[in-house]
Amino acid sequence: MVLSAALDSGYVFLTLVGILTSFTDAEGTFGINFSLNSNTKVGVTVIPLFQIGLHLKDELLLKNIREYFGEIGTLTYNKDMIFFKVQSLKQILTVIIPHFDKYPLITQKRADYLLFREIVLKMEAKEHLNMDGLKGIVNIRSSLNLGLIDGLRTVFPNIVPVVRPNIDNTKIPDPDRDEKLMRSFVEYFGCGNYNLKKDQDKGEYLVGKFSDLSLKIIPFFNKYRILGVKSLDFKV
């Protein structure tokens, strides 16, 4: 049984890993900032940034994400938002990069990650400390996120943006696997139905009987807590 075997093997641990990658796809940022600094040989300090920003209602979740990463980085607050930020090159190299290499992003955010990763590896090789290496980093940065701000275009007028990686996220990686998992819900819970919507290439697991919801579904989610704001929907 797919679901039972997954739970028995400790698969529930992947809940946080999964939502971490999902939240990064939706709310994460991979950035490279530049700060003018006359004390450096090239006159510029390069600052890498990994960030996830969530509503204050998800403060506990973001703290759990930071704990998962080993309490690295900082938590900052701005009005009704909370941000988890990592700017240490060492921490990004040893913690952030290995995580997203192992658990890849699936949206166009992955293109930003790959460009970010390339710059970070160049920084590890100290290429940002000489002008030729810095120019190469700026060329990559100009294709990252929304590109360079006008001020940096003035400092680096001869920019040649690199080609952004092409991320094909229009296909379901393994629809048969997803269908098997969804159908296993019927077997595991002993209730509900799986309905395949062929015109939309997706399916739904539905439980509508009150006794099944109260005796099977609700006890399950009381045992395996939902993380994030979605937990409020469950409580209602």
Top CATH class, 15-155:
alpha beta
Reading the chain (236 residues) residue by residue, the pLDDT tens digits are 444 444 444 433 445 676 778 778 888 999 999 988 889 898 889 999 999 998 898 888 889 889 999 999 999 999 999 999 999 999 999 999 999 999 888 788 899 999 999 999 999 999 999 999 999 999 999 998 877 766 677 777 788 888 888 876 544 444 555 677 778 888 889 998 888 776 656 778 888 887 888 888 888 888 776 666 566 666 65
pLDDT of 9 reads 40
pLDDT of 8 reads 43
| 205 in Cβ contact with 193 (< 8 Å) | yes
- Strand ordering across the sheet containing 81-86: 28-36, 44-55, 81-86, 74-78
81 Cβ contact partners less than 8 Å away, ≥ 6 residues apart: 53, 54, 55, 56
pLDDT of 15 reads 58
CA distance 97 to 114: 10
pLDDT of 95 reads 97
The size of the chain, in residues, is 236
For the chain, report the end-to-end CA distance as a whole number of angstroms: 31
pLDDT of 214 reads 82
Q: Sign of the C-alpha dihedral, residues 214, 57, 48, 68?
A: negative
80 secondary structure, DSSP code: T
Q: Where in the chain is the domain with CATH 3.10.28.10?
A: 15-155, 172-235
Where do we find the tokens 């090159």?
Answer: 89
pLDDT of 137 reads 94
pLDDT of 175 reads 54
Helix (H) / strand (E) element for 121: namely helix 109-124
pLDDT of 26 reads 82
Residue 150 structure tokens? 């006008």
Cβ neighbours around 23 below 10 Å, total: 20
Task: Answer left, alpha or beta for residue 126, where phi above 0 means left and psi between -120 and 50 means alpha.
Answer: left
pLDDT of 182 reads 75
Where do we find the tokens 């269908």?
Answer: 179
Q: What's the topology of domain 172-235?
A: Endonuclease I-creI (3.10.28)
pLDDT of 7 reads 44
Where do we find the tokens 């919507």?
Answer: 197
CA distance 27 to 19: 11
User: Which of 227, 234, 224, 230 has its CA nearest to residue 11?
Assistant: 224
Gyration radius of the chain over CA positions: 22
CA atoms within 13 A on the CB side of 70: 8
